[in-house]
Amino acid sequence: MTHDQLEAAVPVYAAGALERVERRALEAHLLSGCSSCHATLKEYQSVAVTLPFGLAITPPPRALKGKILASRESPPATESEPQSPAQPSLQPGEWMNHLFPPSSPPATSFGWALGTVIVVVLIILVLFGWNSSTHLTEDMEKLAQLQLQAEATGSQLAALQQQLDERAKLLAQTQEELQRRMAELAEVRNQLFQREVELEEIKDQLPQPRIRTTPMP
């Protein structure tokens, strides 16, 4: 087949309707590296993908469901049945996928990437939670120590306050005792002053003694 014939068979190949001999010839030509046929196949392949969407929706016949169920219930083929001839290694659709692999990543790769992201996020959350719990434990220990220190300081302050109260009470008692002693001392002074006055009065009431004078010789 000439190059023009092979290029003319590209649209039929893209639709999957090319005969086996012509298909193999075109595939060998594509493997040889013809850039123009590759470009033409890409264009027709993109068009062929949209062809099913342009067909009108036709309801299936009513007997189709029964035929499908009957075919599923039929016994499997035995070894005595003739085997179907070996299919070519690459069908039209497989050949196009082989030449032009899909650009989008497979679902397994997306699922693996999503699972990896989820695992990484979980690890980050676990590490963050562990770090937060560690800091929280340290903060709780520090808070407990501060509470113990505050309780000890409060006990010391209470003891000092009790000592101050006792000393203030003792000082008040001492002041009262001092005032009482000063009052007693003032009373004793008054009594002593009265005794001195009475003694002076008694002295004044006593007669004065006469003094005799003797003449000089």
Question: Could you read off the pLDDT of 82-123 as tens digits, one per residue?
Answer: 444 444 444 544 555 555 555 444 445 555 666 777 777 888
The predicted-structure confidence for 167-203, as pLDDT tens digits, reads as follows: 999 999 999 999 999 999 988 988 888 888 888 888 7
Does residue 31 surpass a pLDDT of 80? Answer: yes
DSSP 85-145: PPPPSS-HHHHHHHHS--SSPPHHHHHHHHHHHHHHHHHHHHHHHHHHHHHHHHHHHHHHH
The tokens for 178 are 């001092």
Residue 52: its pLDDT value, please?
64
End-to-end CA distance of the chain: 205
Q: Which among 36, 3, 5 is positioned nearest to 19, based on CA atoms?
A: 5
Give the rounded percent of residues in the chain with a pLDDT score beyond 90: 10
Tell me the torsion sign for CA atoms 35, 37, 39, 41.
negative
Averaged over 150-179, what is the pLDDT? 90
Residue 166: its pLDDT value, please?
92
Residue 164: its pLDDT value, please?
92
d(CA 172, CA 8): 127
The tokens for 93 are 């659709």
Q: Is residue 133 domain-resident? A: no
Q: Is residue 36 domain-resident? A: yes
Q: According to the per-residue pLDDT averaged within each range, which of 15-19, 35-39, 64-68 is highest?
A: 35-39
Report CA 38 to chain centroid distance, whole Å: 53
Angle between helix 35-50 and helix 92-99 axes, rounded to 10 deg:
120
Is the distance from CB of 13 to CB of 42 less than 8 angstroms? no
Q: Is residue 21 domain-resident? A: yes
- Which is more confidently placed, 215 or 59? 59
Q: Is residue 95 domain-resident? A: yes
How many structural domains comprise the chain?
1
Q: Is residue 41 domain-resident? A: yes
Q: Is residue 4 domain-resident? A: yes
**What's the pLDDT band for 55 if we cut at 50, 70, 90?**
low
Averaged over 33-60, what is the pLDDT? 75
Averaged over 208-212, what is the pLDDT? 61
Is the distance from CB of 99 to CB of 31 less than 8 angstroms? no
Residue 53: its pLDDT value, please?
61
Q: Is residue 134 domain-resident? A: no
Neighbours of 34 (CB within 10 A): 16
d(CA 10, CA 6): 7
Does residue 161 surpass a pLDDT of 80? Answer: yes
Is the distance from CB of 47 to CB of 39 less than 8 angstroms? no
Average pLDDT, the chain: 75
Is the distance from CB of 29 to CB of 6 less than 8 angstroms? yes
Averaged over 63-88, what is the pLDDT? 59
Report DSSP state, residue 65: H
Q: The domain containing residue 18 runs over which residues?
A: 1-51+91-103
Residue 209: its pLDDT value, please?
62
Q: Is residue 31 domain-resident? A: yes
Angstrom distances, CA of residue 97 to CA of 13, 40, 45: 13, 15, 10
Residue 170: its pLDDT value, please?
92
Averaged over 127-145, what is the pLDDT? 78
